[in-house]
Amino acid sequence: MNANQFVKALEQLRSWREYAFLLSLAERSLPNYALFSDAIGMKGGAKVRMLLDEAWSLLESRGSDAAIPQMLAKLEGLTPNVDRYDVYGVYPAYDFCQLLEQALLNRLNPTKQRALEGSRLATDTVMKFLEVSEGAELDEDELVRLLDHHELMKADKAFQREVLIAVRKQRYPTEGFIRELREAAANDGVSNLGIGLDE
């Protein structure tokens, strides 16, 4: 699947498949939020974990979406203001919140497509991290080469494609399928930036 085919396939995602794709991106980036939250003593990590679990349970039960506005309000209260913190970690933490918000908004209004926007947001998180951590001294060409060949970029691309293929192949969101998807997205607690909850 080349880049154009990937974009086209994302644009064709509907219903639970799009929701599951966005949730998977949020799950992969959760450690970015948890580590930032711990670092500043915010103690929001457990709360967003509960919110994300609740979001997954909507997919499993196909139950009432009546709780989503309340979930969105909770998420808004847990979303860090990037202007208030002078540490880089606030940006990946904020991006996680945006991904979870995209998923919940998708569930609330499935007619507005959000998979492509979510995909780009997740990839941008990785790109910006690499620019800050490894690209400061590089010229534009060197930065492009870094981003093209970096393991984190390759891993992000591979993960997104795997999730996309998995949800497209699956007819219904069975309990077993959702469990496997969640486990793969959780990646043993290692985020899309290659940082883990035990660090």
Q: Tens digits of per-residue pLDDT, 80-118?
A: 999 999 999 999 999 999 999 999 999 999 889 999 999
Q: Does 71 map to a domain?
A: yes
Residue 63 is predicted with a pLDDT of 56
Q: Does 198 map to a domain?
A: no
Residue 62 is predicted with a pLDDT of 58
Residues with Cβ < 8 Å from 105, sequence gap 6 or more?
Answer: 72, 112, 114
Residue type present at position 178: I
Instruction: Identify the residue whose tokens are 């209004």.
Output: 109
Q: Does 1 map to a domain?
A: no
Q: Which of 53, 60, 57 is nearest to 74 (CA)?
A: 53
Q: Whole domain around residue 82: which residue ranges?
A: 13-184
Classify the C-alpha dihedral 164-131-150-94 as positive or negative: negative
Task: Please give the average per-residue pLDDT across 19-29, as a whole number.
Answer: 98
Q: Does 49 map to a domain?
A: yes
Share of the chain above pLDDT 90, in %: 76
Is the overall model pTM greater than 0.75, yes or no? Answer: yes
Q: Does 2 map to a domain?
A: no
Number of domains in the chain: 1
Q: Does 169 map to a domain?
A: yes
Q: Does 197 map to a domain?
A: no
CATH code where residue 83 lies: 1.20.1590.10
Q: Does 80 map to a domain?
A: yes
